Amino acid sequence: MRVRNFPYLAFGLPLLLLRFSAAADEPKPTPENTISIKLENEVKPQTFPRPIKFFIEKVVDRSGSPEPMRVIKERGGVFLDKEPTEIVQQALTDTLQKSTLLAADRPSADYLLTVYLFHFGLGEGTGYEFFGKVDLNVVVKNVSTGKSSEITALGTSIQGAALRKKNILKNIQANIDEALESALRNFLRGTKLRDAVVVPDAKPAPPPQASEIFRFVARPLKGRYDHA
């Protein structure tokens, strides 16, 4: 019985060892390979024709990445210190708050924002050049009318080549910082957002009531008969 199962053991053992080896090669986050993303420059939104307030309902990860906090796997890996959704929500909250556009709570908001995050991190580059990319889709909902508008905001950034691990971390962090800043700027300063919050046209005056039409017609007739 042992001799009969030996080929299966001989075949399965290398696969098992290969699986353990692959797991051992998987990079893990450490203080040395972890970066923190935050806006280095303040993003100033456009000026709107009337005072309005935004409330961020949620930021949803639609990237499909099984490890959203891992930026790259090669050379020991590079990791984010927070989930991308948390980074985007904090950056957008801080930006709106500094510009007095953030509502204190949901009931006091004029517009609700739902942010869908399709990409956060690096795009495809060449060699040791890193290409930062942040791709957002923001649904802006008018609280009073219930109407929603979808706005796409893409931010990109390309830093120079790097060979040393320390410089790689620095360039990747700068790339994602700048890409996030660019995405928020494109959203908050774009014409699509302005169109979504433009002051609605004044409602047309309601048609006159039947009684008013009757009085308008009856008055001349009454005067004509009295004169006769």
Count the Cβ atoms, other than its own, within 10 Å of residue 24.
7
In the block, tokens 């889709």 appear at 137
CA atoms within 13 A of residue 10's CA, in its CB half-sphere: 6
Rounded Cα distance, 17 and 77, in Å? 23
Helix (H) / strand (E) containing 91: helix 84-98
Q: What's the first-to-final CA gap in the chain, in angstroms?
A: 129
Exposed, middle or buried: residue 62 (CB in 10 Å: 0-12, 13-18, 19+)? middle
80: DSSP letter: E
Q: How far apart are CA 69 and CA 150, in angstroms?
A: 26
pTM summary value: 0.76
Domain residue spans of the chain: 42-198
Q: Which residues pair with 116 in a beta bridge?
A: 60, 137
CB 59 within 8 A of CB 89: yes
Nearest 5°: the CA angle 24, 25, 31 is: 95
Annotation: CATH topology of 42-198: Rossmann fold (3.40.50)
Cβ–Cβ under 8 Å, residues 115 and 144: no
Q: Is the CB of residue 130 less than 8 Å from the CB of residue 121? A: no
pLDDT tens, per residue, the chain with 228 residues: 454 554 544 555 444 434 434 445 689 999 999 999 999 899 999 999 999 999 999 999 999 999 999 999 887 899 999 999 999 999 999 999 999 999 999 999 999 999 999 999 998 764 557 789 999 999 999 999 999 999 999 999 987 666 677 888 998 999 999 999 999 999 999 999 999 998 654 444 556 565 554 454 455 545 544 544
